[in-house]
Amino acid sequence: MPTTVRSHAKINLGLGIGAPRADGFHALATVYQTLELHDLVTVSARSAAATKLHLSSNDRRVPTDSRNTAWKMMVLALEELGVATEVEIHIEKRLPVQGGLGAGSANAVAALVGLVQELGNRRQGIGKPSWPARRLELAAQVGSDVPLFLIGGTVLGLDRGQEVYPLPDIEPTWCVVAAPAVGVSTPLAFREWDALCVREGLTAEASTGKLNKLSRAYASAFAGAIPGGIPGSFSEAKQEAGSSGVLAPKNETGCEDLAGRQESALVRTGITSWIQNDFEQVVFPQHPSLAEIKRILAAEGTPEAALHASLSGSGSALFGLYLTRGDAEAAWERLRDAGVISFLTRTVDRKAYWGQMLLA
């Protein structure tokens, strides 16, 4: 019987980028955070004389060949496990394509989780102690932000983003994700960043100190975060979110506020006063409309102000985090009035991420 897996989105709570290295990559330090918002990936596998892959999607923009991250992950995993299998993958897209939410990378991990489930007793090598580390290595070969989805929750990402470490989880926090129609080219964003580094004299060597300091600051701040939330409120919201992780806006808040009006663990870290995304320095001048959307999400100086608002990755998706559902709904309504598509959801901690991954 096919296995259906929730393929969760991520946001970058903060993202520090270094100057280009000799190998052409950029070192970075980031805090990834998974969301309830997700695609659905369905995997079926059966024994075959030779490995065959079939991939389909409800979105014609999704490649259905070797360009797809899920396809790449299957090739590596099946080769590693030495299992001849005919695999069918269907990706039901609910997340923006190339929006800075890690959707394609999450699809790759969801496909791997589905494959492991499908193989059952034929899971040769998966029970070995080396498998958890090995699957992280395979994920890093597929893409820099693929490994984070093998951890989930709040995650520290270093080097190219593929070196990942679990951070203490914040409690589930209301989130509005804006999905503007404008497209952002990640290669172009990096080229603009490289030009900025030249103008400001930031070298790859100098970046090392900057990013080491930033990663220590991230780790220190989140060490004080308190995991968990108000019992009951998260599970109720999960039920309401149904199969998509998108919560329907409504005019009642009350007991659905996660942390009441007092404070949140994200605020207690102190990180909201200084965390930022370096890409905003080059993306916003190219796309002023994105800076305006961030302003709408942030609503600074109002009772409904965001705890934190930012571009995610290189964009074009942006997000705001809010203390109460009412604050998040107000942001959703402001974006609707501005003609911007957005999703009301919330962050998901590590335990819930893995607990709800397989669709019952």
Q: Is 145 a catalytic residue?
A: yes
User: Would strands 3-20 and 163-166 be described as parallel, antiparallel, or unpaired?
Assistant: unpaired
Find the catalytic residue in 145, 169, 278, 327. Answer: 145
The residues pairing with 269 across neighbouring beta strands, listed in sequence order, are none
Cα separation values, 113 from 231, 250, 347, Å: 28, 34, 21
Q: Which helix (H) or strand (E) holds 111?
A: helix 103-119
- Exactly one of 10, 72, 238, 294 is catalytic; name it: 10
Are 96 and 61 in contact by the 8 Å Cβ rule? The answer is no
Q: Hey, what are 185's tokens?
A: 């080219």
Which residues have a Cβ under 8 Å from the Cβ of 119 and sit 6 or more positions away?
45, 81, 83, 85, 126
- Is 10 one of the annotated active-site residues of the chain? yes
Q: Give how far Cα 347 sits from Cα of 10, 61, 228, 245, 338, Å.
A: 9, 27, 12, 10, 24
User: Which residues lie below 8 Å from residue 358, measured CB to CB, with a gap of 6+?
Assistant: 3, 4, 5, 6, 113, 117
How far apart CA 259 and CA 323 sit, in angstroms, is 7
> How far apart are alpha carbons 289 and 104 in whole angstroms?
25
Query: What is the phi/psi pair of residue 55, to 5°?
Result: -130, 135
Could you give the residue numbers annotated as active site? 10, 145
